[in-house]
Amino acid sequence: MTLAIETQSLGYAPGRGFQISNLNMKVPVGSLYGFLGPNGAGKTTTMRLLLGLLPAARGSITVLGEAMPAAHVQVMSRTGYVPERPHIYPTLTVDEALRFHSAFHPRWDQPWAEELRTQFNLVPDRRVGALSKGETGKLMMLLALAQKPDLLMLDEPTDGLDPVVRRDVLEALLSYVSVHQATVVISSHLVHELERICDWIAVMDRGSLVAELPMRQFKDGIKRLSVADAPATLAATPFTILARRPDNGSGEQWLVRGWSSDMQSYFGAPGATLRKIGDLDLEDGFVELLRSFREAK
């Protein structure tokens, strides 16, 4: 598997009681990589480390085949970045913002930038400071896409946008990716949005990577099992038990990870009975993973 991003034993400690610890992250080339985590989990900090905007305390970072932060200039010339907060001078007009950013990106596609501006209904002589939140979000995505990047790093790009604007922004993103096979790392609180567009998912909490795997494997491999007559102590299981909880007084409910259908035969050995297998959507799986991760701490 060819990787667009790889970190090894990455660490960062800003000295405020929070730290990124031993982060080993692998983002495949051409993937739509969804980055999930609660507020304060470390997603924005991780993105800034990957782009050389913060100094790592230890470990290594490789982005687009280059060591970071040593190759910061080369990597950023091939990367479109939408930060958590807008970074455009508010006194510029939309047209001036486009011309300003184009000067820094040799791949800048001016005809396509104009096409996106028209598609997003952005008025050329409107000042950035006078744009609505939705218009600002569309302008940020336009600036990232028009530089024709190989990698897009998007930190909450649709946060606070109404459904119509979110749809416009995501349609432009998916259209670009389908044509140019770019890699996308997208952080979002909108779990169902990531479920719809991403083929890889990573879950971060308290500076640690809780999970990182293909979306289909995540959704198929996390199950809620209803189990009767389960012994208190279990031998090795072919799946990982994330949690065991009483099931309304009649057996137990197990949350398991790494499940496949051929594992049903396991329950005969300990004398247990598998009553039911329940699916979890991405949001349920995300919440349960965080809960079990915190309970284990």
- Does the pLDDT at position 87 exceed 90? no
**Which range marks the domain in which residue 144 is found?**
3-206
Tell me whether residue 202 is in a domain: yes
pLDDT tens digits along 129-159: 999 999 999 999 999 999 999 999 999 998 8
Tell me whether residue 29 is in a domain: yes
Q: Say if residue 224 is in the same domain as residue 283.
A: yes
Q: What is the mean pLDDT of residues 214-221?
A: 90
Average pLDDT, the chain: 92
Q: What percent of the chain has pLDDT over 90?
A: 69
Q: Say if residue 71 is in the same domain as residue 98.
A: yes
Give how many domains the chain has, as a whole number: 2
* CATH number of domain containing 176: 3.40.50.300
Q: Which of 32-46, 134-148, 197-211, 242-256 has the lowest mean pLDDT?
A: 242-256
The span from the CA of 290 to the CA of 205, in Å, is: 7
Q: Which of 90-104, 136-150, 156-170, 202-216 has the lowest mean pLDDT?
A: 156-170
Q: Say if residue 241 is in the same domain as residue 186.
A: no
Q: Say if residue 40 is in the same domain as residue 126.
A: yes
Q: Say if residue 178 is in the same domain as residue 68.
A: yes
- Residue 239 falls in which region: left (phi positive, over 0), alpha (psi -120 to 50) or beta: beta
Q: Say if residue 117 is in the same domain as residue 197.
A: yes
Tell me whether residue 213 is in a domain: no
Three-state SS for 171-220 is HHHHHHHHHHCCEEEEECCCHHHHHHHCCEEEEEECCEEEEEEEHHHHHH
Q: Say if residue 198 is in the same domain as residue 83.
A: yes
Residue 142 exposed, middle or buried by CB count within 10 Å (0-12, 13-18, 19+): buried
Backbone angles phi, psi at 46, to 5 degrees: -65, -45
Tell me whether residue 212 is in a domain: no
Strands 3-12 and 20-23: antiparallel
Q: Say if residue 158 is in the same domain as residue 75.
A: yes
Q: What is the mean pLDDT of residues 276-291?
A: 87
The span from the CA of 26 to the CA of 62, in Å, is: 10
